[in-house]
Structure formats: structure tokens, C-alpha cells
Amino acid sequence: MLIWVLAAAALAAGVTGAWSPCGFSMVETLAPAGYAGRLRTTLVACATFTAGALAGGVLTFGGLALLGQALGAGGTGAAIVAAALAVAAAVGEARGLRIVPQVRRQVPESWRRVLPVPLAAGLYGVLLGLGFTTFILTFAVWALAAVSVALGDPALGAVLGLAFGAGRALPVIALAPVAGGDRGNAAHAAMAERPAILRGLRAADAVALAACAAVIGAAPAQAASAPAAGAAASGSTAAASGPAARATQAATIAAAEASAPAADGGLFAFQRPGGSGYLRRGETFALPGRDPALAVGLVGWRDASRITLADPATLAPVGAYDSPGGGAFAFSDQWVVWLVGSTHLVAQPRDASVPPRVVAIARSAQQLGRPALAGQALVFHRAGRSGSQIRLLDLATGQERVLRSERRALLLNPSFDGRELLYVRSTSTRQELRLGPPARRATTRDRRLYGTTPTGRRDAGHEPGHARHRVGYPGRRPPPLAPRPPAGGSTTLWTTALGPGAAYVTRLRHRSGTPGTTAAVLAVPR
Amino acid sequence: MNESRRGFLAKVSGALMAVTGARTVGSLVAPGEAEAYHFCGHIYTTDSCPHPTGLPRIDSRGRPLRAKDGHRVDDLGRLVDLEGEPIDEDGARLTDAEGVPLPAASRTPVCKAVAEQYDMTTHVDGAWYRCCGGHVRKLVDCCSHSRKRINGDRSLVGYCYKGRRVFCVMYFQTRVPC
């Protein structure tokens, strides 16, 4: 009975060891896509690894049993100690305590590069099977070692060692052949990211150890009376287990508490967050609606679902359009275009000769941006997880083309005056306001008018107690780090406007722990 | 008396042999925690892969995570939720001044982003595991056929296969205690 319980505990302890750095490393090392290079080599390496692990297990636990035998162990006192250790280890395992003492060593990584993989695997197997040459993931290893010594039975020690070695080998030979495939990746992810699995294994170790202790405790007389070699035969042994931004040009605040700028000629307009639009024409005054727009000498605003275009001097309406669900809009001498949600752009001729029609729809998880319009050319952004683009749609012909595109940057909220394109480019290292022609080309060829810190905040590039990497760089000087925004908040460059002498951009600021977002419109000389 | 003395000497010599054997084995294994260079576990001289928030921490699929807490980040370095939408430190969606959510951005596997940035073909090849900060850490190489590494000097073989060499390094922090 005891031999089976001990073997089960040793097997569980070995399997638990797969969660060690070396256990993970072995799967990588023996994988067909790895150093093995092909499945056949992987299978041979798995065989040698198993043989090595079994040999290592026998060496350790058989050797410890021999040591115990040599020291005259195997008596009642030793068995009681072994049982007590098994109980202690079981408690430690059940509570998931950190393993102490720990062996902070690893197998040499270079073997897999300099030796034939099957040979390296065999040697790795020996080291892992030995149990105490690398990280220990369960108290069961220590407890089983103590039990081996206490019982002083080499045969039982050998069985323990074989079971432990088998446990160490099993996960590796099960996972290595499929590593790199979908099943292998899923198994790896589960091992690495689901602590519950390891906790479950340690719970199993605890049960096995408790069973060992119970068996030993139930047969103290046998353990006391039997000679070391006979103890195993009578099934009375014990086991244990347990395991800031530098601007390209100076920006000034054109309007505080403002967003969604618009510019045309000498006119400038903006939106008060949560309030109405404002027009600056010498002095600043409120408009009778939201989402102000400026073009072709007119001002526009939206009141509920109705867009009104008017004379900026008198605010006398010159046209009106129904835009159910509409948000930000743009107009030219020929068209009116409005955004519905962040997913649809709807257009209608200024003369209302035809009803409104959807001209652009966001695909899944994409967002369409605020429209910009010059004549019949509609410019807008498409942004999402697959990258972002600035697109130009000819509303008369329906032809659409990409003006700018980047996969790992956000290109946002273009403005367009018919000759030049202004937009925000946001990456992990910088946010920029760029200006360029309305033709397809790389964003980096456009003129950078303004730059500031990225929205995301980088770290120091090294962990605490370490220093930035310098080795290998010319003069030991690594590239400069990107500017870093202050902690606890984020800054985002957002909507733009293109005036005759200045470019405008909304700066959004959000502080963690505070509701809402504040905004200001910055002006940058063109 | 003589037998007992011989027995004692046998035990002592056996113990000495065991200690010697243990030392021999001990000399084979290497320290499991490496504190060299710019992050724990990385013992070679190759620098990190470009990462949106600096330290090259990745998830099991190679996509970027913020090093200090393992939170997902997009290619802009913004914290993102499970759907990839940008959020603040408290998990609230980032919005514009009118409360409209800001757009999501791409979240590219770090080694793939290296390929795009440096116009080369990259592979995530082998890995090695070490104990860092009380958890098992997977050290991952981003490999290419470039003879130069990101530092600008000669590239090393590292954990790469099939003639590839290490261009830059990343790591995946598991939740396995050690």
C-alpha cells in the first residue's frame, strides 16, 4: 500500500516540477520547431530525456535511501519523523506556501546549442530527475527526500526515484512534440497564465502526502519493527511532498475649455465641451447650436438634428438640413456631410436636390472621424485595431483613395482646405500635427508643425536595480528615450482646423480618478 | 571494536563521496536568477525590442504588455481593455471632450512590429525560462537573418534556430511562482 502511495506522491511531485523554469525550458528545447528541428529528433530526444530523468530520480532517491540505510535509519523514530514531515509538507502544499528552502539553480542553457539534441536532452533529464539541481516547485520533493533517508530502503528509494523521474518527464514529452502548434500553444498558455492548474497540482501533492503520512501513521509498529529493507515490502514507508513635451513650434492656447476647432479666412470657431458653439470674429460670442463649422464665408451649427448654415456677420440662416442622429459636420459650396455616431458619414448636396445618403461606413471595430470638406472632396479618418488611414472621397464620382496610411499609428481628424492636409499622427513615441499635400505619400514626408508627448506613458526602459542597456551601442550610447508624459494622466491631440496663418488642434487631457476630459484648442503657426 | 571502527569509516567515506558528487553536479548547473543587464533574466548583451512602453514585456501571443503590472497596451502605449479600446488607469474609456470614445489602435506582436519597423523578416524562435521577481519568466528572442542586432553590432545566435540570430529580446512573465 505504502509503496503505491509514495510512488503516486513522487509522480505528482515530478509533474509539478514541469512548472519550473527548467520544465518550461525543456518543452521549448525539445520542440520540433526548436533545436530538434524535426519531429523524429524530438521523439528521440524525448526518449533520452525520459531515460535521463528516470536515472536521475533513482540516483537521488535511491542514493538517499542508501545513505539512510548506511546511517542505520528505518526505525520507529525515523518513520515518525518522516510521517511528521509528510504532514508538514502536505499542509504547506495545501496552503500553496512558497517553497523554502529553494534551489535557485538551472540547467546550463548552452548544452542545447553545443551538443546533439538527444544527448543534451538526456543530460538535462538527468539533472531534472535529480530533483535538487534546479528550482523546486513542491514541498513533496523535500519530504520525499527525507522519507527516503528515514526509511533507509534502497529499493523503495529506487521506486520513488523512478516515479519522480517519470513525473518530470511526462509533461515534457507530452508537450514538446506539439509545441508551436495550436494545441501546444494553448497548453503553454494555460500552464503559464492559469495559476489554478498549479494550485490544483499542489493540492494533489498535499493529498498524496497526507495519504503517505496516514499510511505511515497507521503502521508505526511495522515501521518500527521491520528492518529497513523489509519496511518497503510490508508497505510501511513514508513519503512527503510539498511543494513632455518639446514642441516643434511653440503652441499657444487659442481657446481654453474648447474643442472641435474650425477656421475659415479670419473666422475661428470652437465648441465648449458640453455646451454650445462659439464664433470668434474680433470678439467671441455663442452660437445658437453645437458643433460649429466654417467654410466658404459661412458659419454652421447644429441644433438637435438640424444643421443650419448662416451669415457669420448677422447669423441669418442661408440653408438648413435635417441630420437625424448627426454629430460633427462639414460643408462646402456644394455639399454638407455629417457624422452619425462614429460609424457613418452621410452626405447631401447643398441644394438638397437629392436626399441624404450614406457615403462611408466603418467596418467592425473601426471609427470614422470628423469630416473635412473642400468642394466635392471629403476627407476623413478610418481608425481601428488594424491601423488607420486618411481617405479622400470624391462625392461627385464616388471614387475613394487613401492619402495616408499607417498600421501602428493613429492618423486622426484631418482638416483640408483644398490645397493642404492637416492631421494628427499619434505613435508610442510622439503625437504630432503634420501638414502635407492631398496626395498619397508617407506620413514622415509631411511637415511636422507641432509635437508633444505620446498618450501612453513609457517606463524607464530597465527594471529597478538594473541600468539601461548600453553594451554594443557605438560609444555605449543607446538611442534617446521618447519624451514621457506626466504620471497619472494622459494627453491626446484630437480634432484639427486649418486657418490661413495657423493650424489648430484640440488637446484633450484626462486625469485618472477624475471624471470627464478637459480640452483646449492650441494654435500653431503654419 | 575494529568492525565498528570500519563501519564508521565506511559511513564517513560514503558521506564524503556523496558530498563530492553533489558538488560535481552543482558545478554543472547555473544560477537560476540572472541579474545582469537591463531586466532580470536577460544575461546576454542584446537590447530590448522596441516596445510601446519601454521594457519588452509581452503576453503569450507576443503582444505588448505594460511591464510594471502586465496590463495590455496598444501600439501607442495606451492601456486597453479586452476589446482593445483605450482606457485610463481606473479602467474607464478614454473619450473626447464630449464623451465620445477615442478610437482603438492596433496592438501588434512586438517581434512583428520589429519586422515592420526594420523592414526584415523576423521569427520568434526559442526561449529559456528563469525565476524573476518570484515568478517564472520566459526569455524570448526576436530572431532574424540580420548579421547586426538592434544595438548595431554583431548579432549572436542566442536561442534562435536555422541560422537566424537574435535581433532583440522580449520576455513573458508567467504567473507561476518560483
Residues A335 and A406 reside in one and the same domain: yes
Q: Which residue has the higher pLDDT, A246 or A209?
A: A209
| CB within 8 Å of chain A, chain B residues 4-63 | 10-11, 14-15, 18, 25-26, 28-33, 35, 37-40, 45-48, 52-55, 60
A-B C-beta contacts closer than 8 Å: 279
What percent of chain A lies above the pLDDT cut of 90? 52
pLDDT at B23: 55
Query: How many domains is chain A partitioned into structurally?
Result: 2
Name the residue in chain B with its Cα closest to that of A406: B106
Residues A210 and A263 in one domain: no
Q: Which pLDDT score is estimated for A240?
A: 36
pLDDT of residue A33: 83
A177 within a domain of the structure (yes/no): yes
- Of all residues in chain A, the percent with pLDDT exceeding 70 is 92
Where does A59-116 have alpha helices with state H? 63-70, 76-94, 111-114
Mean per-residue pLDDT over chain B, rounded: 85
Cross-chain Cβ contact B161/A35 below 8 Å: yes
Residue A179 is assigned to a structural domain of this protein: yes
Angle at A324 between CA A509 and CA A312, to 5 degrees: 70
Nearest residue in B to A495, CA atom: B96
The reply to whether residue B130 touches residue A488, judged by beta carbons under 8 angstroms, is no
Do A346 and A389 fall within a single domain? Answer: yes
Residue A415 has pLDDT above 50, yes or no: yes
d(CA A107, CA A349): 74
| A200 and chain B in contact, CB less than 8 A | no
In a domain, A46, yes or no: yes
Contact A519, A507 (CB under 8 A): yes
CB-based contact B126 A195, cutoff 8 Å: no
Of A37 and A356, which is predicted with more confidence?
A: A356
Residue A295: inside a domain: yes
pLDDT at B25 over 70: no
> Do the Cβ atoms of B96 and A22 come within 8 Å?
no
Is B156 in the A-facing interface, judged by CB distances under 8 Å?
no
Q: Are residues A302 and A291 in contact, defined by beta-carbon separation less than 8 angstroms? A: yes
Pick the closest to residue B98 from A423, A270, A323, A490 (CA basis). Answer: A270
What cell numbers appear for A235 in the block? 508497505
> pLDDT tens digits for A434-475?
999 999 999 999 999 999 999 999 999 999 988 888 888 888
Nine-digit cell at B140? Answer: 524570448
Q: What is the pLDDT of residue B17?
A: 52
Is A239 within a domain? no
| Residue A94 maps to a domain | yes
Give the gap in angstroms from C-alpha A218 to the nearest C-alpha of chain B.
32
CA distance B65 to A261: 35
| pLDDT at site B2 | 47
Considering only the beta carbons, identify the residue of B29, B33, B101 that sits closest to A133: B29
> First-to-last CA distance in chain A?
87
ipTM: 0.78
pLDDT on residue A389: 97
Q: What is the pLDDT of residue A186?
A: 84
pLDDT at A231 (0 to 100): 35
User: Where exactly are the structural domains of chain B?
Assistant: 33-72+108-178, 80-106
User: Is residue B96 left, alpha or beta, with left meaning phi > 0 and alpha meaning psi from -120 to 50?
Assistant: beta
| Residue that is last in its domain, among A202, A233, A264 | A233
Q: What are the pLDDT digits (tens) for A282-305?
A: 899 999 999 999 999 999 999 999
Q: Do B178 and A410 touch (CB under 8 A)?
A: no
Residue A464 counted as domain residue: no
- Residues A83, A229, single domain; the answer is yes
CB A244 within 8 A of CB A486: yes
Closest approach of chain A CAs to the CA of B155, in angstroms?
10
Coil, strand or helix at A1? coil
| pLDDT tens track for A216-261 | 766 544 433 333 333 333 333 333 333 333 445 688 999 999 999 9
Q: Does B115 touch chain A (CB under 8 A)?
A: no
The answer, yes or no, to whether residue A412 has pLDDT greater than 90, is: yes
Co-location of A193 and A70 in the same domain: yes
Query: Which of A375-379, A426-430, B14-18 has the least mean pLDDT?
Result: B14-18
Task: Decide if B166 touches A, using CB distance below 8 A.
Answer: no
Per the prediction, chain A carries an average pLDDT of: 87
Q: What is the mean pLDDT of residues A31-59?
A: 89
| Main-chain dihedrals φ then ψ at residue A391, nearest 5 degrees | -120, 150
The answer on pLDDT for B133 being more than 50 is yes
**Helices and strands, number each (H, E), in chain A:** 13, 26
Domain that holds residue A229: 2-233
Give yes or no for A38 touching B (CB within 8 A). no
> Domain for residue A412, yes or no?
yes
- Contact at 8 Å (CB) between B145 and B121? yes
Q: What is the pLDDT of residue A191?
A: 86
- If you measure CA to CA, which chain B residue comes closest to A186? B60
Same structural domain, A156 and A10: yes
For residue B24, pLDDT beyond 80: no
Cell of A17: 516540477
Distance CA B160, CA B46 (A): 13
Q: Does A510 touch chain B (CB under 8 A)?
A: yes
What's the rounded mean pLDDT across residues A310-329? 95
Highest mean pLDDT among A267-271, A481-485, B9-13: A267-271
Say if residue A429's pLDDT is above 80.
yes
Contacts of A41 in chain B (CB under 8 A): none
Tell which wins on pLDDT, B93 or A83.
Answer: B93
Residues 163-182, chain A, touching B (beta carbon < 8 A) = none
Interface of B with A in 61-90 (CB under 8 A): 66-68, 73-79, 83-84, 86, 88-90
User: Is A196 or B12 the better-scoring residue by pLDDT?
Assistant: A196
Instruction: Please write down the HEC assignment for all residues of chain B.
Output: CHHHHHHHHHHHHHHHHHHHHHHHHHHHCEECCCCCCCCCCCCCCCCECCCCCCCCEECCCCCEECCCCCCEECCCCCEECCCCCEECCCCCECECCCCCECCCCCCCCHHHHHHHHHCCCCEEEEEEEEEECCEEEEEEEEEECCCECCCCCECCCCCCCCCCEEEEEEEEEEEEEC
Q: Is B103 on the interface with A (CB under 8 A)?
A: yes
A475: left (phi over 0), alpha (psi -120 to 50) or beta: left
| Residue B30 confidence (pLDDT) | 58
User: Omega before A32 cis (within 30°)?
Assistant: no
Is the CB of B54 less than 8 angstroms away from the CB of A508?
Answer: no
Nearest beta carbon to residue B18 from set A63, A108, A474 = A63
User: Does residue A128 surpass a pLDDT of 80?
Assistant: yes
Do residues A358 and A390 both lie within one domain? yes
Per-residue pLDDT reduced to its tens digit, B146-166: 999 999 888 888 889 888 999
The confidence score (pLDDT) of residue B149 equals 93
Beta strand A344-349 with A357-361: parallel, antiparallel or unpaired?
A: antiparallel
Q: What is the per-residue pLDDT across A141-172, written as a single tens digit (0 to 9) for each?
A: 988 888 888 877 777 888 889 999 999 998 98
Cβ–Cβ gap A135/B116 under 8 Å: no
Interface test with B, best of A20, A25, A95 (most B CBs within 10 A): A25
DSSP A49: H
Verify that A124 and A36 share a domain, yes or no.
yes
